[in-house]
Amino acid sequence: MLDNQTKVCTKCGVDKLLTEFTKEKTGKLGRRSKCKPCQAKHLAEQAKTKRETTPKNVVKCCNRCGENKGISEFYKGIGKYGRRNTCSTCLQYAEAEIKLTLTPQQKAKKKETQSAWRLANRDTVNAK
Ligand SMILES: [Zn+2]
Ligand SMILES: [Zn+2]
């Protein structure tokens, strides 16, 4: 094989010396079809698209509101695609609700309403 043997890169279309191509047994002239810079670029692009397409475009159904939302709407956690099964919006509502039921004021108010009801319905309750 000649030292100045060249090969056209299938990617950039430039006629380059064989030394510009990575060795590959199955390739034409024992080299890859893409030159080294193109191969590197190709691999980088592949890695990039892989990173970008993994779960960002995935839509997940929230188990609370039942809406299909983008994966970014879900917090990371144990669930499908490594996310929680409840969307962030629902989680915020759920957390707010929990906080609400747990406040002493709310508990006291509930108790008040309950005893007021019992008081108002004492006759009915006692009659049973
Ligand atoms: Zn090239
Ligand atoms: Zn939801």
Average pLDDT over residues 47-56: 68
Please check the confidence at residue 2 and state whether its pLDDT lies above 60.
no
Q: Where are the alpha helices (DSSP H) in the chain?
A: 36-53, 88-102, 104-120, 122-127
- Ligand of minimum distance to the alpha carbon of 64: 2
Ligand 2 centre to CA of 107 (Å) is 27
- Ligand of minimum distance to the alpha carbon of 70: 2
CA dihedral for 45, 49, 50, 52, sign (positive or negative) = positive
pLDDT tier at 33, thresholds 50, 70, 90: very high
* In the chain, where the domains are located: 1-53, 55-128
Q: For 113, list phi and psi in degrees, rounded to 5.
A: -60, -40
Can you give the pTM of this predicted structure?
A: 0.40
Please check the confidence at residue 120 and state whether its pLDDT lies above 90.
no
Which listed CATH number (3.30.9, 3.30.60, 1.20.140, 3.40.50) goes with 1-53? 3.30.60
